[in-house]
Structure 1
Amino acid sequence: MSFFFEVLLGGLLAGVMYSLVAIGFVLIYKASGVFNFAQGSMVLFAALTFVSLLERGISFWLAFVLTLLAMVALAWTIERWVLRKLVNRPPITLFMATLGLSYIIEGLAQSLWGAQVHGLDLGINDEPFEFQGMLLSQFDIFAACVAGVLVLVLSVFFNKTRTGIALRAVADDQLAALAVGIKLEKLWLIVWTVAGFVGLVAGLLWGARLGVQFSLSLVVLKALPVLIIGGFTSISGSIVGGLIIGASEKLAEVFLGAYIGGGIENWFPYMLAMLFLLVRPTGIFGERQIERV
């Protein structure tokens, strides 16, 4: 039983890492109703910029601030030269725009910082420690605490501030929001900036775990089942979805792998997400769309 709980807690903590990437998707989707396929490239760009500045002798916090400013500049450029030109276009048009942006951002990162693999040390001891007979990762616990703080802050931002309420109004109906005087361009700039900050945090944590390399952008693929299960419009749902995916894939790998072979954690989350699509397409915390005809 102790081994079961060790695997379960390890999976829950690992699932928080998936949630950090999923939160960036939720932010963009809540503000524009668009699935931002460029989020993975933003995570890569942030991590690569940060580690490259560190390697040039810049201190940790100055590199963090400079990388955050770079993400703000990236957000401003995307809003000014892409999104503002595509207001009120069909969602598929915006999705294809973000798909193109993902390749542009990756190419920009490679041009600025090169394509070599970098190691990233955040000073967090990743050695496991024993708790009640279970071995838990200190790095995963740190990541869980960071994700918890982010969820709390973003939940307050979206539900209690005027800007957050305006963002929800824009997501519901852009034309109606424009009609009542909401400045769409300003709100999109804010939400892309916040998504850039979340991408920076996720990039640092994932870069410290996997190394800063271009395959880091593929982490978005693991965020897809998290979004499907938790819901595309819920920040809290991204955390719950990440916990479900993390726990289920680890338990399946350990306890089912002996019967049906290894590598289960590579495909089990997508099978679970497909089952959710059949039963509850909007996810656990997703908002159901009501259309008048």
Structure 2
Amino acid sequence: MLDFDWQFFLEVLIGGLLSGVMYSLVALGFVLVYKTSGVLNFAQGAMLLFAALTFVSLVEKGIPFALALAITFGVMVAIGIAIERVVLRPLTNRPPMTLFMATLGLSYILEGAAQLIWGTQVHGLDLGIDDIPFEVGGVLISQFDLFAASVAAVLVLLLSIFFRYTRIGLAFRAVADDQFAALAVGLRLPWIWATVWAVAGLVALVAGLLWGARLGVQFSLSLVVLKALPVLVLGGFDSIPGAIVGGLLIGATEKLAEVYIGEYFGGGIESWFAYVVALAFLLIRPSGIFGQKLVERV
């Protein structure tokens, strides 16, 4: 125990926590939609890919960074609203499996549309932040991970303020608590759902740019949606704080596991260890740390 390198442990832990923030960004898109409509939006990964591919393609065509960002934001908001109105609104009150399959089909449609519009080549995405570590108290921290964590923190703060202090946010919370009560007081659920899907498009844009800058903009980028599933299991499918806490726990756990016990399994456990943690957690607390327990009265 005396030989334990606490400085290296702290370095791995901080790296894992910062990576976990990236997972939280993807999970946040799931939570926003699921909390208001009960739909598990499996198309969130494809939305993330579409946003990153649209932005980088516009920049490569010579469009200024800020203008490309604004255009991509408008595109993602339009896609979010279109998904709600064209696909999900006609399926209101259908079984959850039907809605899930609809979003699964949407994910392939969006990927196909991205391929048709922008092609299949891999793009590099430079946000102007070098992935070079700097030293703080002897601990090396990635500049890009710190930047991504800061962006995620600002986004969560803005969303929290939006949903807590604006009329739209109050309506969102009312629908999340009780849809029938919200209808009884005159709230327009389709309008609220469209707004939530538009916000999910914004979250997909931010997550897409950060993940695209880290991994490159390619079609495998849509698979980062799978990283959000253990996060949702731990934090709860209907909790924004849960998405953040779950992401931090998953990020830290998988990094520490890879470094300290990976050698006993031949290495490479970082890619699947999060699912082991999620499965174990399902057996203990299926609703997640912050998720609401469903109580059915018969």
**Common topology (TM > 0.5):** yes
Give the match's secondary structure for 2:297.
coil
Deviations 1:35-65 (A, max 9, x none): 1000000000000000000000000000000
Q: Which residue among 11, 16, 31 is the counterpart of 1:11?
A: 16
Q: Which residue among 205, 210, 213 is the counterpart of 2:210?
A: 205
Distance in 2 separating the partners of 1:165 and 1:280: 29
Deviations 1:169-192 (A, max 9, x none): 334444443343211111111101
Higher mean Cα deviation, 283-292 or 94-103?
A: 283-292
Distance in 2 separating the partners of 1:277 and 1:166: 31
Q: Which residue among 45, 63, 72 is the counterpart of 2:68?
A: 63
Q: Which amino acid aligns with 1:75?
A: G
Q: Which residue among 274, 278, 297 is the counterpart of 1:292?
A: 297
**2:197 pairs with 1:192:** yes
Aligned residue number for residue 260 of structure 1: 265
1:146-157 equivalences under 5 Å are: 146-157=151-162
Aligned residue number for residue 222 of structure 2: 217
Distance in 1 separating the partners of 2:75 and 2:265: 47
- Unmatched runs of 5 consecutive residues or more in structure 2: 1-5
State how many pairs are aligned: 293
Higher mean Cα deviation, 281-290 or 210-219?
A: 281-290
8 Å CA contact retained: 1:128, 1:138: yes
> Do the aligned partners of residues 91 and 177 (structure 1) sit closer, same or farther apart at CA in structure 2, a change above 3 Å counting?
farther
Aligned Cα root-mean-square deviation (Å): 1.2
Q: Which residue among 79, 97, 105 is the counterpart of 1:100?
A: 105
Q: Which amino acid aligns with 2:219?
A: F
Deviations 1:166-214 (A, max 9, x none): 2233344444433432111111111011010010000000000000000
1:1-293 equivalences under 5 Å are: 1-293=6-298
Deviations 1:245-287 (A, max 9, x none): 1111011000102222201111110000011101111111111
Distance in 2 separating the partners of 1:168 and 1:36: 19
Distance in 1 separating the partners of 2:280 and 2:197: 31
8 Å CA contact retained: 1:46, 1:199: yes
Give the match's secondary structure for 2:110.
helix
Q: Which amino acid aligns with 2:296?
A: E
Q: Which amino acid aligns with 1:93?
A: T
Higher mean Cα deviation, 71-80 or 262-271?
A: 71-80
Q: Which amino acid aligns with 1:89?
A: R
Distance in 2 separating the partners of 1:280 and 1:168: 24
Distance in 2 separating the partners of 1:273 and 1:158: 28
Higher mean Cα deviation, 199-208 or 148-157?
A: 148-157
- Unmatched runs of 5 consecutive residues or more in structure 1: none
Distance in 1 separating the partners of 2:163 and 2:13: 31
Distance in 2 separating the partners of 1:7 and 1:248: 10
Give the match's secondary structure for 1:130.
strand
Q: By how many angstroms is 1:159 displaced?
A: 3.1
Give the match's secondary structure for 1:82.
helix
